[in-house]
Amino acid sequence: MQTVEGLSGPTHRRGTVITALGITQILAWGSSYYLPAVLAKPISADTGWSLTWVVGGLSIGLLAAGLASPYVGRIIESRGGRPVLITSAMLLAIGLFGLGFAQSLPVYIGAWIIMGLGMGAGLYDPAFATLGRIYGTGARRAITTLTLFGGFASTVCWPLSAFLTAELGWRGACLIYSGIQVGISLPIYLFALPREGVRSLQGDRALPAQINEGTVGSGSKSALLIGLVATALTISAVISSTMSVHMLTILQSRGIALAEAVTLGTLVGPAQVGARFIEMLVARYHHPIWTKVASVSFVAAGMLFFWAGLPIISVALMLYGAGIGLESIARGTLPLAMFGPDGYAALMGKLALPSLIAQAAAPSIGAVLIETLGSSGTLGTLAITALLNLLVVASLVGMRWRMRH
């Protein structure tokens, strides 16, 4: 089994590092991004704050995460992921503590800003960047495995959040999650991740002059490729963020009862994990760009079927789930494969900026679309957006082929 030798302290086995990051990813996602799904209504009911503002805390947090991401990427590129992830656990703990004691809406929003900084330093992009920094071009399987862990975040934490809220109230749930960050995530980062050497950042290492895979490209071609990758990732983020918030509303607008809508919605999670598991088995046989092609194709097919109102909505949701499951893998592996490990962490930080800002805005935009166009019009808009993303990825494939030939 491969090990990583830190600057000091014991060696760190690859399996230990991946498992450690996997556990902390479940806890980080569950205590931040997935938190409002369960706590939003109890918070609104208890405080009298509008549900829009309560849920909007997450959007503000995602905006803060996006703005911090380029800086986070450069720190990981320079110093490794361990200090950044340690900081993320501390920020999430402070933010959750603030949520638990928030007596006014400004304090509540301020706590979400702190949590947003923790999200920017501790969710997928920093974790991928950390693995890329440690393992270089060999990080692909590690990234894929990590997304398998991440796929269980809502499965683990939604029931936990519901239980804690029922037993301790929403404030108690936030305080327990704060304690989990301090008592579980922080020690894992401290003891399970290797220390890494400091690198000097010369110039803008997020814009490599050489395209990995042996093809030397000009700086302008490299920048164009990065722009296409960023566009594809951002469009995918818009679709997934909109659907994650409004899926149940859209299903109910089609005459489906809430209980049945929730049951249908649960199909997305297993489809994500199943697609990721299959990708892990076959990844060695193809370039990550084909993972991205499969991802946008599945999402486009799922959204088109959903829009068309085909009798078997479950098929549409499973296709969509498989697509966004593969998207998480492509998000981490495609930039690594195309541009190599040199500057990868800094590049991931820059790619995260537009994606997270789009995720912050997407739920509000989706709400406006539903109010003005209705659920069918919203699905049509998302389906067209998914097809547009397919064209963007096709352009990326074509440009890569031309540069290699």
Contact (Cβ atoms closer than 8 angstroms) between residue 76 and residue 127: no
Contact (Cβ atoms closer than 8 angstroms) between residue 234 and residue 244: no
Question: In residues, how long is the chain?
Answer: 405
Q: Give the DSSP H/E element, type plus range, for residue 318.
A: helix 313-339
Going from N- to C-terminal start, the domains of the chain cover: 3-192, 210-404
Average pLDDT in the 171-191 region? 96
Average pLDDT in the 67-72 region? 94
Tally of CB atoms within 10 A around 260: 13
Question: Which one, of 88, 10, 344, lies nearest residue 199 by Cα?
Answer: 344
Conformational region of residue 9, where left means phi above 0, alpha means psi within -120 to 50, and beta covers everything else: left
Average pLDDT in the 37-50 region? 89
Would you call 252 exposed, middle or buried from its count of C-beta atoms within 10 A (0-12, 13-18, 19+)? middle
Per-residue pLDDT tens for 365-402?
888 888 889 888 999 999 999 999 999 999 988 887 77
- Name which residue leads in pLDDT, 96 or 373: 96
Q: Report how far residue 39's alpha carbon sits from residue 256's, in angstroms, rounded to the nearest whole number.
A: 24
In the block, residue with structure tokens 């320079």: 78
Per-residue pLDDT tens for 103-143?
999 999 999 999 999 999 999 999 999 999 899 888 888 99
Per-residue pLDDT tens for 237-250?
999 888 887 887 78
Q: What is the pLDDT of residue 400?
A: 77
Domains 3-192 and 210-404 equal at CATH topology level? yes
Q: What is the pLDDT of residue 105?
A: 96
Would you call 13 exposed, middle or buried from its count of C-beta atoms within 10 A (0-12, 13-18, 19+)? middle
* Domain 210-404 listed as CATH 2.60.40.1120: no
Q: Is the pLDDT of residue 206 over 90?
A: no
Q: What is the DSSP string of 86-121?
A: HHHHHHHHHHHHHHHH--SHHHHHHHHHHHHHHHHH
Query: Which class does domain 3-192 fall in?
Result: mainly alpha
Q: What is the pLDDT of residue 202?
A: 57
Per-residue pLDDT tens for 254-296?
777 767 777 777 788 788 889 999 998 888 888 899 999 999 9
Whole-number average pLDDT of the chain = 86
Per-residue pLDDT tens for 4-29?
544 433 456 888 899 999 999 999 99
Q: What is the pLDDT of residue 8?
A: 38
Bridging pattern class, strands 3-5 and 11-13? antiparallel
Q: What is the pLDDT of residue 215?
A: 43
Q: What is the pLDDT of residue 164?
A: 93
Task: Give the model's confidence band at 216: pLDDT under 50 very low, under 70 low, under 90 confident, else very high.
Answer: very low
Q: What is the pLDDT of residue 405?
A: 61
Q: What is the pLDDT of residue 219?
A: 58
Q: What is the pLDDT of residue 262?
A: 72
Q: What is the pLDDT of residue 12?
A: 63
Q: Give the DSSP H/E element, type plus range, for residue 272.
A: helix 268-282
Q: What is the pLDDT of residue 207?
A: 46
Average pLDDT in the 141-150 region? 89
Contact (Cβ atoms closer than 8 angstroms) between residue 318 and residue 297: no
Per-residue pLDDT tens for 297-335?
999 999 999 888 766 888 888 999 999 999 989 998 999
Amino acid at 192: A
Which whole-number Å values give the CA distances from 362 to 29, 106, 186, 278, 340, in the listed order? 18, 22, 31, 29, 31
Q: Can you read off the two tokens belonging to residue 314?
A: 């479950």
